Structures are given as structure tokens and as C-alpha cells.
Amino acid sequence: VFLHTGPVLVSSTTGMVLQARGDIRAAVDAGRFTVHDLDLDLVTVVGTALCLGQLLHDHPDRDDAEATDQIAEDLLRMLGLPADEARDICRRPLPRARWSARPRRSQYHDMACLFSTDRSVSVVMQYL
């Protein structure tokens, strides 16, 4: 399985993790996030996406977008945003992609969906 999905996963994960790191750093620099250890936060965010992926895989009846929004809100609190602000941000409609009639999904949602197809912690985490 890894032979087939591995390379795709590697390039997508590396890209997403790099982008997540950049986003967290930018928010810290802007005074939005309060974090002590950016690397640990990044590890946590990716770890939660992995377990969310597993959960969505094991429970296909769950609404993946709703679960992702909920965890995104929890993660924003973890990164230091006040609870009401975190809730407000995660309930806003996502921007619409130019090429699609459907609302764009969050980057975190993409990560969780990707991880729901390959759930090996070790494989994903080594690209952190």
C-alpha cells in the first residue's frame, strides 16, 4: 500500500506541513497565536489530523467537514486564540474556489482526508 500511496503522500504532506508551519509562524509574528514551541505545535497539529483521518475512516457516517471545523476550532484555542474568536473563525463560510461551485475546504480538512487514506503515523510523521 505504501508503495502506491507513499510518494503522493510524501509530496503532499511535505507541502502541507511546510505551509502549516509558515501559517503558524506568520500568526505568531502577527501576535495572533501564543505559542511556546512552534515545532511542538506543528507536531501536534499534524498528529491530530492523523487521528482525525483515522476517525473519519472508521466512522464514514460522520460528517467530515463538521468534524474538521470542530477540531480546527479546538486547535485555534490550543494555539492561543480566545474561545469565542476561535468559534467565530471556524463558523465563517470558507472562501469559494474560483474553479469550483463548491466552497473550498480548509487546508486542515485536506490533510485529514489525505490521512484517512493512509494512516501510518510513522510514515507521515517522518516528513515533519
Partner 1 sequence: VAATRSDVPSRTERRKARTRQKLIDAARAFLASDTHSTASIQDITDAADVGFGSFYNHFSSKAELFEAAVAEVLEELGQLLDELSSDVDDPAVAFAQSVRLTVRLAVARPDTAQVLVRHGMAYIEAEEGLAPRALRDIQTGIASGRFQVGDPRLALATTAGALLAVLHVSLVAPDTVTDAMCDEAAEQLLRMLGVPLDEAHALATGPLPDRPAVEQV
Residues lying near partner 1 in the complex (CB under 8 A) are found at 34, 36-37, 40-41, 43-44, 46-52, 54-55, 58, 67, 70-71, 73-75, 77-80, 83, 119-122, 125-126, 128
CB of 110 to partner 1, least distance (A): 16
Smaller CB separation from partner 1, 94 or 123: 123
Q: Which of 68, 66, 59 is nearest to 113 (CA)?
A: 68
C-alpha cell read off for 9 = 503522500
Residue with Cβ nearer partner 1 (28 or 125): 125
**Residue 4 CB, nearest approach to partner 1 (Å):** 20
CA 54 to chain centre: 13
Residue closer to partner 1 by CB (options 27, 67) is: 67
CB of 61 to partner 1, least distance (A): 13
Q: Which is nearer to partner 1, 13 or 48 (CB)?
A: 48
What is the sign, positive or negative, of the torsion defined by CA atoms of 99, 104, 107, 111? negative
DSSP track, 95-107: PBPTT-SSBPPPH
Least gap, CB of 95 to partner 1 (angstroms)? 23
Q: Is 82 helix (H, G, I), strand (E, B) or coil?
A: coil
Q: How far apart are CA 25 and CA 41, in angstroms?
A: 10
